[in-house]
């Protein structure tokens, strides 16, 4: 149910109907987990109004690490490099003329896509500041969501990076995404993996556990289940990574092992290595999928 509040704690899993059990007490919220399909869910779920207020705030892209992004723009060169690697992965499955990014933020991915030869790039994002930034980069961007975009528009590719974990109602959302894709189009999704080594080692200190903005947590199994019921075929699932500065990595490490991280920081500071850029797996997955189009598969999507 869209934006409903709250699901009973032992409510059935939205994806497979299995029983959800509490995994972590997060203070104001709990993380529920369905062991049948490996979907995690925040409880209670935030309302649409609460989420809308959070994403509309100018602080969302610079408001510290607890909510949103620590300083998205300062980290722009690393984000751009990560985006380039991700887009190259999508382009391996064929050329792309036009592309829609859901949750485009300040437009860094779209700008990279255009540099790599995608002729028409369009972004939507609920944050007006971010959309203004994206437009200033010369890309077409609109305040809103996939549901508010002109319904006649179709794209060769739809991309959503760190978006799916924010979606309260994934089934209608993916139906809307599918309606935006050309029949031979492709979908690229990056989202935290609740079964990743990082997630399991970090427990309740996992960096991707962000309350209340992250409402659902996927694994390769649960995202396959979601794509299956919404009419997509999975082409590839990879462990995702990103380029980060050593200073960024140390700030993250400090949450898990504060003492060791502080020792490391002294060494890094002494050698002036904080600005050095490294590539790390980030506990997320990259998923490439395409809409299923045969009659049999269409019947499946109507279930
Ligand atoms: Zn389930």
Cβ neighbours of residue 136 closer than 8 Å, sequence gap 6 or more: 107
The C-alpha torsion from 131 through 133 and 136 to 137, rounded to 10°, is -100
> Nearest-5° angle of CA 155, CA 159, CA 279?
145
What is the structure's pLDDT at 275? Answer: 85
Residues with CB under 5 A from ligand 1 (ion): 13, 15-16, 18, 34, 36-37, 39
CA 115, CA 94: separation in Å to the nearest integer? 17
What is the structure's pLDDT at 62? Answer: 59
Q: pTM for this structure? A: 0.83
Inform me whether the pLDDT recorded for 224 exceeds 90: yes
Distance 143 CA to ligand 1 centre (A): 32
Read off the DSSP letter of residue 27.
S
Higher pLDDT: 28 or 295? It is 28
What is the structure's pLDDT at 248? Answer: 81
CA 232, CA 226: separation in Å to the nearest integer? 9
Distance 22 CA to ligand 1 centre (A): 13
Distance 7 CA to ligand 1 centre (A): 15
Would you state the structure tokens that stand for residue 174, as one six-digit string? 């993916």
pLDDT tens for 102-142 read 999 999 999 999 998 999 999 999 999 999 999 999 999 99
Distance 15 CA to ligand 1 centre (A): 5
Distance 233 CA to ligand 1 centre (A): 19
Cβ neighbours of residue 118 closer than 8 Å, sequence gap 6 or more: 87, 96, 97, 98, 99, 157
- Residue-range domain boundaries for the chain: 20-301
Higher pLDDT: 143 or 74? It is 143
Please measure the distance between the N-terminal and C-terminal CA atoms of the chain and give it in whole angstroms: 17
What is the structure's pLDDT at 234? Answer: 96
- Please give the average per-residue pLDDT across 190-204, as a whole number: 92
Distance 37 CA to ligand 1 centre (A): 4
pLDDT tier, 9 (very low <50, low <70, confident <90, very high otherwise): very low
CA 53, CA 302: separation in Å to the nearest integer? 34
What is the structure's pLDDT at 277? Answer: 80
Share of the chain above pLDDT 90, in %: 53
pLDDT tens for 32-72 read 999 999 999 999 999 888 888 888 777 776 554 444 455 66
Class of domain 20-301 as given by CATH: alpha beta
Whether 158 contacts 100, CB under 8 Å: yes
Distance 217 CA to ligand 1 centre (A): 11
pLDDT tier, 240 (very low <50, low <70, confident <90, very high otherwise): confident
CA 235, CA 250: separation in Å to the nearest integer? 34
What is the structure's pLDDT at 143? Answer: 95
What is the structure's pLDDT at 3? Answer: 47
pLDDT tier, 73 (very low <50, low <70, confident <90, very high otherwise): low
Distance 167 CA to ligand 1 centre (A): 16
What is the structure's pLDDT at 294? Answer: 62
């Amino acid at each position: 149910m869209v934006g409903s509040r709250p699901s009973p704690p032992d409510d059935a899993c939205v994806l497979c109907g299995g029983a959800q059990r509490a995994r972590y007490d997060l203070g104001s919220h709990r993380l529920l987990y369905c062991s049948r399909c490996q979907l995690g869910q925040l409880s209670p779920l935030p309302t649409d109004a609460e989420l809308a207020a959070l994403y509309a705030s100018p602080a969302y892209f610079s408001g510290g690490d607890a909510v949103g992004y620590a300083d998205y723009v300062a980290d722009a060169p690393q984000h751009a490099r990560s985006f380039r690697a991700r887009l190259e992965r999508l382009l391996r499955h064929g050329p792309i003329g036009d592309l829609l990014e859901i949750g485009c933020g300040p437009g860094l991915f779209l700008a990279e896509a255009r540099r790599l030869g995608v002729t028409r790039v369009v972004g939507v994002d609920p944050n007006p500041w971010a959309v203004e930034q994206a437009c200033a980069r010369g890309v077409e961007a609109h305040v809103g969501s996939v549901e508010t975009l002109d319904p006649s528009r179709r794209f060769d590719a739809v991309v959503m990076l760190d978006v799916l974990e924010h979606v309260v109602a994934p089934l209608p959302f993916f139906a809307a995404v599918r309606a935006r894709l050309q029949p031979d189009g492709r979908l690229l999704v990056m989202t935290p993996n609740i079964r990743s080594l990082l997630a399991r080692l970090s427990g309740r200190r996992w960096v991707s556990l962000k309350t209340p903005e992250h409402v659902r947590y996927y694994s390769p199994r649960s995202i396959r289940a979601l794509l299956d019921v919404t009419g997509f075929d999975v082409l590839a699932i990879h462990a995702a990574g990103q380029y980060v500065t050593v200073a960024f990595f140390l700030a993250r490490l400090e949450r898990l092992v504060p003492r060791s991280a502080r020792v490391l920081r002294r060494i890094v500071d002494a050698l002036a290595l904080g600005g050095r850029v490294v590539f790390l797996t980030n506990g997320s997955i990259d998923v490439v999928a395409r809409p299923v189009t045969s009659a049999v598969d269409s019947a499946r999507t109507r279930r």
